[in-house]
Structure 1
Amino acid sequence: MQPTTEPAFTTTVHTATTGPVIEATGELDLDGAPTLHAVLRRALTTAPPRSDLVIDLAGVTFCDSSGLNALLRARIETGRAGLTLHLARPAHAVARLLEITGADKVFPIDPGVPFVPHTRAG
């Protein structure tokens, strides 16, 4: 019997009064970036106009250049859709990466997450 392993990167989509919240957990790297992108695309199709889209990074334990690229790409796509992308509660390693690369200057970074009334699997 093979032991089951959890995916290295997962997402859960919540709906807040200000718009979708994507809760990310695990390693945002070359393998996790496509997952984030797919969930983001679905969230953009259901988000109300002129709302915010939040990516909650509190559960992200690792982020490499592929993950950073995914976040920057998400910012561009969110802007094209007329929404504002916020990063919330970045874990220390992610906050440090954003700071070192200067990406913390292009994202609104929120210390908390908006109220989340219910969850949708992402």
Structure 2
Amino acid sequence: MTAEPSVAASVSGMCLAVQLGGDMDYQTAPFLRGRIGEEIARGLRYVVLDLSGVSFCDSAGLNVLLWAWRQAGGAGSVLVLACVPLNLQRMLSMTGVDSVLPVYGTVAEAEAEMAAGGGS
């Protein structure tokens, strides 16, 4: 059974933190794309996806992350990941996605790096 997805956003300076929760799978991917796309369209320079609330991620969820990265880049934003659960860290490493999408331990760490000009 798919856990209902959630998306919540907050802004700090030029950084948009988007907290994802629930499952990231083929059933929730369209909803997540729509909501993440709305947040990216706000036009902030930096976007941090907080994955601390993600309970499950399959290949469709991984595709959502890559799609978000491409969307952000196309909008002139930099997208990074934070608070990635261990099982998802393994998936990112095994697929090489962590070499494309920077991963930070916390949202605060990612925001500090972005404020210092990192990831640009």
- Scaled by the length of structure 2, the TM-score of the pair is 0.82
Q: Which of 45, 50, 73 is the aligned partner of 1:79?
A: 73
Q: Which amino acid aligns with 1:75?
A: W
- Structure 2 segments unaligned to the other structure (5+ residues): 112-120
Mapped contact 2:43–2:75 kept (Cα < 8 A): no
Pick 1 or 2: higher relative contact order, CA cutoff 8 A, min separation 6.
1
Q: Which residue of 2 aligns with 1:110?
A: 104
* Distance (Å, rounded) in 2 between the aligned partners of 1:102 and 1:45: 27
Quote how far apart the aligned CAs of 1:18 are: 3.3
1:78-121 C-alpha deviation (Å, 9 max, x unpaired) = 10101001111101111111011111110011111137xxxxxx
Which segments of 5 or more consecutive residues in structure 1 lack a partner in the other structure? 1-5, 116-122
| Number of residue equivalences | 108
**Equivalent residue runs for 1:82-97 within 5 Å:** 82-97=76-91
Counterpart pick for 2:28 among 24, 27, 32: 32
Does structure 1 residue 43 correspond to structure 2 residue 39?
yes
CA contact (8 A) 1:26 1:62 kept: yes
> Percent of counterpart pairs with the same letter?
31
Q: Report the residue type matching 2:28 in the other structure.
A: G
User: Max radius of gyration: which structure?
Assistant: 1
What is the one-letter code of the residue matched to 1:14? Answer: S
Return the offset for 1:47.
2.5
Q: Between Structure 1 and Structure 2, which shows a larger proportion of helix residues?
A: 2
Runs ≥4 in structure 1, deviation > 6 angstroms? Answer: none
RMSD value, Cα: 1.7
